[in-house]
């Protein structure tokens, strides 16, 4: 038990394998996980020891300031709240004790003003075995700090920050007596640590529009390294609820259970369930300069390392939701959402609106047709559940793994790499339902590359016969020798220029260095036609989301659909009109869904 002239015990702390964490360690901590605190008042006693105490009362020590002051009742409540924020994440227990002539807390807090405090809002002493160890002194001349310490205020952040020092944390941007390690300026920000001075990374003249209300990502990692983690905090199933009535700047630490982040507001949000990652939820938080002017938006809700959250629900705005690898339940809500599952077995419900949802390596379940959706199953065995009878659902096969699904309710989706359709009354393989648009995928790819449109009926029929007798590569060579094609791909283009032109026209991007080198080597050893056959096949073979694939596969799928459409609508479309239609399709799957949806609804193309 500490007294006015003695301190609680302290212990050394080893460095960790993690450099960002190490920059916060003073390398000392309280030796006991039970840490006492007291609230001084008039009549409290302080050590006058000239070496390890505050020196004589005639000196400049904090207790001898004429501005010595004490926390009021409301301020004490907020101080205890800040203590609890640290106890939530670390295996420590704070115990209040009297502050009198014989007993004081390991941590004490009061107001003062000394020459050393002239440029600081507050300071605190590390746990070093001295009477002043753990003491927190708040600048009495900073009127804002004689406040209610509201969440998000610099004043409340000051309490959390100074308690970090009292527990054994140092500033990440500067060395200390026992530890000279400093953090990279790019990671020196209040967004990642309450012990930082900077809003913008490495810029101490900047701050945040709303200050942290909890220890942040690196702080939690460091304090748990020192004292252990509080595995009992929110150890059951917990739903973390966010809305638009409050601003947030916090890091979630959770001791276990099945946990969910739910946002019920209207702002567009970013929800990332991966540990160590940040989300943007609710009212925006941003960095500000010394005059309070906006600089940049920042992520305002973080997930601590070793915290597992498996559920996310977006609001009514357009949300981006990123899952992790633990098997998630991801719900987009209203708005036009983009959902990206991790590698577990996930349940994805895009919700109302025009949504894009990506599965990954697990076996994923996509729930519902609602609006216009693009559903990408990824690897694994994937299922689409529709709240319709099977007879109310209509499927067109665009490619072996790409389907257009439409309900009688008017909802529709592009569905890729999903094997099973589960209706209310039956579960069937998508391939058994599909009305095939055509089988000439290779020819459609060549048309998209050469003519930048779908084949017209007569051209499709002619070239399919040529492919049957001569092969796809030879037909591609012939097509690329046509005058109309050489207006785009001139015969005198160098190898590099031709490959670059294919990239631009087929994938809507320039080649990277590695890709350019590979394909120029292939062209040098072969023909233009064979190169286009190989490049387009490779383009469809890469993972969904790779730059350029969506642009190409959306156009190929439209080309496949357009061939089938012409075959069933008593005549073809002109080459000029097919070019106009193809120009409407880009990397946004909604452009493809809208075009096919119009055709399926009876709107003449």
Residues that are catalytic: 162
Instruction: Calculate the CA dihedral of residues 254, 259, 261, 264 and round it to 10 degrees.
Output: -130
Query: Which residue is listed with tokens 């689409």?
Result: 384
Q: State both tokens at 185.
A: 């300026």
- Give the closest residue to 260 by CA, choosing from 329, 213, 339: 329
Note whether 138 and 158 are within 8 A (CB): yes
Sheet holding 393-399, edge to edge: 270-272, 320-322, 338-340, 355-358, 372-376, 412-416, 402-407, 393-399, 435-436
Q: Are the beta carbons of 44 and 186 closer than 8 angstroms?
A: no
CA distances from 270 to 277, 278, 284, 294, 542 (A): 11, 9, 11, 20, 26
Give the whole-angstrom CA distance, residue 350 versus residue 157: 37
Q: Please provide the distance, in angstroms rounded to a whole number, between the alpha carbons at the two ends of the chain.
A: 84
**Which pair of structure tokens corresponds to residue 34?**
């039970």
Retrieve residue 598's tokens: 């119009």
Dist CA 311 CA 269 (whole Å): 15
Q: Nearest-5° angle of CA 417, CA 423, CA 424?
A: 155
Contact 319, 302 (CB under 8 A): no
């Amino acid at each position: 038990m500490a007294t006015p002239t003695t301190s609680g015990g302290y212990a050394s702390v080893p460095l960790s394998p993690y450099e960002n964490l190490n920059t916060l360690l003073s390398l000392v901590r309280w030796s006991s996980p039970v840490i006492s605190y007291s609230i001084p008042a008039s009549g409290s006693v302080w050590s006058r020891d000239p070496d390890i105490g505050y020196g004589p009362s005639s000196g400049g020590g904090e207790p001898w300031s004429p501005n010595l002051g004490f926390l009021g009742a409301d301020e004490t409540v907020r101080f205890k709240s800040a203590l609890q924020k640290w106890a939530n994440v670390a295996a420590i227990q704070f115990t209040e004790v009297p502050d009198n002539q014989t007993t004081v807390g390991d941590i004490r807090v009061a107001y003062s003003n000394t020459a050393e405090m002239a440029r600081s809002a507050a300071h605190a002493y590390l746990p070093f075995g001295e009477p002043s160890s753990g003491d927190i002194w708040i600048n009495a001349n900073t009127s804002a700090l004689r406040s209610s310490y509201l969440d998000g205020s610099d004043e409340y952040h000051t309490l959390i920050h100074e308690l970090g020092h009292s527990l054994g944390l140092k500033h990440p941007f500067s060395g200390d007596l026992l530890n000279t390690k400093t953090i990279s300026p790019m990671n020196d920000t209040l967004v990642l640590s309450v012990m930082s001075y900077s809003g913008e990374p490495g810029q101490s003249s900047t701050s945040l529009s709303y200050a942290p209300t909890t220890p942040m990502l690196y702080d939690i990692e460091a304090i748990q390294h020192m004292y252990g983690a509080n595995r009992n905090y929110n150890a059951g199933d917990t739903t973390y609820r966010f809305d638009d009535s409050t601003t947030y700047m916090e890091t979630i630490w959770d001791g276990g259970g099945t946990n969910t982040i739910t946002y019920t507001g209207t702002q567009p949000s970013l929800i990332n369930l991966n540990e160590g990652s940040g989300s943007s939820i609710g009212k925006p938080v941003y960095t500000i300069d010394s005059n309070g002017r906006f600089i940049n938006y920042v992520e305002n809700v973080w997930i601590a390392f070793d915290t597992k959250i498996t559920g996310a629900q977006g609001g009514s705005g357009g949300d981006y939701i990123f899952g992790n690898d633990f098997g998630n339940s991801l719900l987009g809500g209203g708005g036009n959402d983009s959902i990206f599952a991790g590698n577990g077995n996930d349940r994805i419900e895009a919700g109302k609106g025009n949504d894009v949802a990506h599965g990954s390596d697990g076996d994923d379940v996509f729930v519902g047709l609602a609006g216009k959706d693009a559903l990408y199953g990824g690897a694994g065995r994937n299922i689409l559940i529709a709240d319709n009878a099977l007879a109310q659902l209509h499927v067109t096969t665009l490619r072996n793994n790409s389907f257009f699904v439409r309900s009688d309710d008017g909802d529709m989706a592009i569905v890729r790499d999903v094997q099973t359709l589960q209706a209310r009354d039956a579960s069937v393989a998508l391939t058994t339902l599909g009305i095939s648009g055509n089988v000439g995928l290779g020819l459609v790819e060549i048309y998209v590359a050469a003519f930048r449109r779908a084949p017209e009926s007569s051209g499709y029929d002619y070239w399919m016969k040529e492919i049957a007798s001569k092969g796809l590569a030879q037909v591609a060579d012939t097509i690329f020798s046509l005058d109309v094609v050489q207006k785009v791909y001139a015969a005198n283009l160098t190898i590099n220029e031709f490959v670059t032109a294919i990239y631009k026209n087929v994938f809507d991007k320039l080649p990277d260095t590695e890709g350019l080198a590979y394909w120029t080597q292939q062209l040098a050893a072969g023909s233009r036609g064979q190169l286009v056959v190989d490049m387009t096949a490779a383009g469809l073979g890469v993972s969904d989301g790779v730059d350029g694939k969506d642009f190409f596969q959306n156009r190929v799928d439209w080309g496949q659909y357009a061939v089938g459409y012409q075959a069933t609508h008593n005549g073809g479309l002109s080459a000029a009109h097919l070019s106009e239609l193809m120009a409407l399709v880009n990397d946004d799957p909604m452009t493809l869904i809208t075009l096919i949806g119009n055709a399926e609804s009876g709107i003449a193309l």
